[in-house]
Chain A
Amino acid sequence: MQKMIQKYFALFALPTLIAFTLAFVVPFIMGIYLSFTQFTTVNDATWVGLDNYIKAFADKDFLNALWFTARFTIVSVVSINVFAFLIALLLTKKVLGTNVFRTIFFMPNLIGGIVLGYIWQLIFNGILYKFDVTLTNDPAFGFWGLVILMNWQLIGYMMIIYIAGIQNVPKEQLEAAKIDGATNGVILRKIILPLVMPSITICLFLSISNSFKLFDQNLALTAGAPSKQTAMLALDIFNTFYGKAGFEGVGQAKAVMFFLMVGIIVIVQLAITRRKEIEN
């Protein structure tokens, strides 16, 4: 059987490979090429060299979006993972109705981002109306609105991963620690945390990349209002690409830089947290 699979490896891989090439590799390479050109539609482009990259960096909105995204990512990654981990700890204890709670916490993740954005917009505006303001009043509202939305959506998902990790911690070790007189805090720090490191790696990776490339929630919740101050990178790229005639190439250049940034950040994060993982 093993031999068979080896023999027909190409056959099995082919459909996926074709799909991957058509839907990812080709557009990706085209995208990099287009970032060095000026174009209106993707089939006719003229080469302009690094011009687009220079324009992108001269764009105040882009730098503002970068800074906003960075702040947002830091706050939401920390809060999502702390809450998800705490809830996971709670729901791995023998509490009544654990499974029901797990399901409920996971559910927000099943709703599409654009819908979430509009629903939360209604909720936030409903509350803010009481104070005669709306989300667009202050960029801080949009910022914290996005943080809350993102937490609500992702905590359940991360929680599931943490639960899987925590359940993998051997009972014998926990019992041994207890008999040795370790407090709950010590058990958490010295045994549980090191052993769930693989889950932490995955969760950090997912929450960093998801926060960084957030788009639909951002578009639906604030669309950058007021004055593009709450526009994140993906939304800024979209606005550049479609908002200004002749700036498609600049949008493309921003997108390439965006890809590189997300790529570098998550690779660094993976390298760091992987090193902390230990054999179970």
Chain B
Amino acid sequence: MKKLNRVLSILLVMSLVFIAACSNNAGKNEPGTDTNQGNDGAKSNETIYFLNFKPEIAEAYKKIAKDYEAETGVKVKVETAASGTYETTLKSEIAKSEAPTIFQINGPVGYAAWKDYTLDLKDTKLYSYLSDQSLAVTEGEGVYGIPYVVEGYGIIYNNAIMEKYFALGTKATAVSSMEEVNNFDTLKSVVEDMQANADALGIKGVFSSTSLGAGEQWRWQTHLANIPLFYEFNDMQGFDNATSAGLSANEIKFTYGNNFKNIFDLYINNSTVKPTLLGSKTVADSMAEFALGQSAMVQNGNWAWNQINEVSGNTVKSEDIKFLPIYTGVTGEEKQGLAVGTENYFAINSKVSESKQQASIAFLEWLFTSETGKAAVTNDLGFIAPFNTFEDNEKPADPLAKEILAWMEKDTTSVAWTFAAFPSEDFKNDFGDALLQYAQGNETWDKVSSVVVDSWKSEKAK
């Protein structure tokens, strides 16, 4: 009996010690923070927690974190949210005691949601390095989000297949080079003729599959939707730019809805798969189709370069990859360029300790000013960084990024990324769901238009 008692009391003590040890661990970092307060930000042994938004470059960030630690001794923890789950991940991570110190917001709408957590970055060097300070997310005097990458999207095409088509004997159009394709009508006639000659060209379809699976719709309900809405916002009077017009619009008319229908019909009817099968297609599927030469065109942005490059057995040569603006049949679109903008803004968590904030800012400044950092940004991340610390020869070399830079030089007007003004994720998803129903033939186009108009109105009212 006595022996048992002793065993029990030992067990009890052990379990208490265990519990105490567990709870101690969590709190331990806080006192540590205070002792570091006096130290120089860069030299402190603070851990920076960077919550990454882009899964496709997760590995590159891990390498950067290692380099930074080797150079300065500051540990950077990089976590990456899985595709389409950034908001979810951020929501749970930021409530933890070890919260992300650097996170990303997707523009004014994202800022509205994370207002309470974003630090004013007005006085940082990082902000002063911006080549165009109007790109930052601001409110009043404060600067809360710093863009770190300029991206562009359009229709990516495989020039080798196009050349093959232009040399084709059975060709029905008079178009003989991509230079001539500068409006929707030309594009449509070329695409439809190519589809008719698909076998001769060795492709399954002109366009890669229009991915409409759950979570795979962003190329249509965000990027493609941006084109008609950009023109609609542009028509509104009395605003600085299209995005601010969109932000103040409580209702939209979807005036250019038929332009959206034009290009969307072209995508789904001249594709590698039947429109009724699109509900199971993913972005990765469509990029693989393009990389394997099964399709000649795909709508995506310069971030897709890795996805094309890394598909095993890809047949597309990098010098054959070119960009074409998304023409939808708007008058005067011959002057339209690619859609160039950003939806990625760094924000610093205002609720972590002062020293952590400083360490985080120091890390970002290092990333965009030091030789190592800049090289990583250009070569590993492939970013066109909007900072004046980058020389001309420090711009990314991948073919899509090069194309973006080339289009920006051309005598065309870039389409701004006005989808930053879209009211909510739900609006986009409603739009995407309606597109799927339309592609499957379950809904009419009128229904899609009314979903877009109604959803905008109701989401704005919330």
Judge whether B276 and A135 touch: CB under 8 Å. Answer: no
Among listed B318-326, B355-363, B426-434, interface-contacting one = B426-434
Q: Report A148 CB to chain B, min CB distance, Å.
A: 17
Chain A residues with Cβ below 8 Å from B280 are 121, 125, 134-136
Judge whether A133 is part of the interface by a CB distance below 8 angstroms.
Answer: yes
Q: Which one, B12, B91, B114, contacts A11 given CB within 8 A?
A: B12
Most buried by B among A44, A226, A248: A226
| Contact A136/B440 with A40-B114, A242-B87 known, Cβ cut-off 8 Å | yes
Judge whether A243 and B429 touch: CB under 8 Å. Answer: yes
Judge whether A134 and B277 touch: CB under 8 Å. Answer: yes
Q: For chain A, what secondary structure do more than half of its interface residues adopt (helix, strand, loop), or is it mixed?
A: loop
Chain A residues with Cβ below 8 Å from B19 are 18
Judge whether B8 and A11 touch: CB under 8 Å. Answer: yes
Q: Which residue of A lies closest to B451 (CB)?
A: A227
Judge whether A226 and B437 touch: CB under 8 Å. Answer: yes
Chain B positions 113 through 141: 1 when the CB is less than 8 Å from some CB of chain A, otherwise 0: 11011000000000000000000000000
Q: Which one, A4, A223, A227, contacts B4 given CB within 8 A?
A: A4
Judge whether A8 is part of the interface by a CB distance below 8 angstroms.
Answer: yes
Judge whether B425 is part of the interface by a CB distance below 8 angstroms.
Answer: yes
| Contact A243/B436 with A41-B91, A132-B277, A134-B277 known, Cβ cut-off 8 Å | no
Chain B residues with Cβ below 8 Å from A18 are 19
State the interface size on chain B (CB cutoff 8 A): 39
Q: Report B426 CB to chain A, min CB distance, Å.
A: 5
Judge whether B214 and A225 touch: CB under 8 Å. Answer: yes
Q: Which one, B95, B278, B433, B436, contacts A42 given CB within 8 A?
A: B95
| Contact A242/B433 with A134-B277, A135-B279, A223-B215 known, Cβ cut-off 8 Å | no
Judge whether A243 and B425 touch: CB under 8 Å. Answer: yes
- A interface, size bucket: 35 or more
A243 to B433, CA, bound (A): 15
Chain A positions 26 through 55: 1 when the CB is less than 8 Å from some CB of chain B, otherwise 0: 000000000000001111100000000000
Judge whether B312 is part of the interface by a CB distance below 8 angstroms.
Answer: no
Q: Which one, A43, A121, A226, A244, contacts B433 given CB within 8 A?
A: A226
Judge whether A67 is part of the interface by a CB distance below 8 angstroms.
Answer: no
A42 to B99, CA, bound (A): 13
Judge whether B253 is part of the interface by a CB distance below 8 angstroms.
Answer: no
Q: Which residue of A lies closest to B279 (CB)?
A: A136
Judge whether B462 and A134 touch: CB under 8 Å. Answer: no
Judge whether A226 and B440 touch: CB under 8 Å. Answer: yes
Q: For chain B, what secondary structure do more than half of its interface residues adopt (helix, strand, loop), or is it mixed?
A: helix
Chain B positions 13 through 24: 1 when the CB is less than 8 Å from some CB of chain A, otherwise 0: 001000100000
A136 to B117, CA, bound (A): 38
Judge whether B424 is part of the interface by a CB distance below 8 angstroms.
Answer: yes
Which residues B416-455 have CB closer than 8 A to chain A?
424-426, 429-430, 433-434, 436-437, 440, 442
Chain B residues with Cβ below 8 Å from A248 are 91
Chain B residues with Cβ below 8 Å from A15 are 15
Q: Report B323 CB to chain A, min CB distance, Å.
A: 31
Most buried by B among A8, A43, A223, A245: A245
Judge whether A137 and B440 touch: CB under 8 Å. Answer: yes
Which residues B63-92 have CB closer than 8 A to chain A?
87-88, 91
Name B's A-contacting residues (CB within 8 A).
1, 4, 8, 12, 15, 19, 87-88, 91, 94-95, 109, 112-114, 116-117, 212-215, 274, 276-280, 424-426, 429-430, 433-434, 436-437, 440, 442, 462
Closest 7 CB pairs of A and B: A136-B279, A223-B214, A245-B113, A227-B433, A41-B95, A134-B279, A242-B88
Name A's B-contacting residues (CB within 8 A).
4, 8, 11, 14-15, 18, 40-44, 121, 125, 129, 132-138, 222-228, 242-248
20 contacts between A and B (CB under 8 A): A4-B1, A14-B15, A40-B116, A41-B94, A44-B116, A133-B440, A136-B279, A136-B280, A136-B436, A225-B214, A225-B433, A226-B437, A227-B430, A227-B434, A228-B433, A242-B88, A243-B425, A245-B112, A245-B424, A246-B113
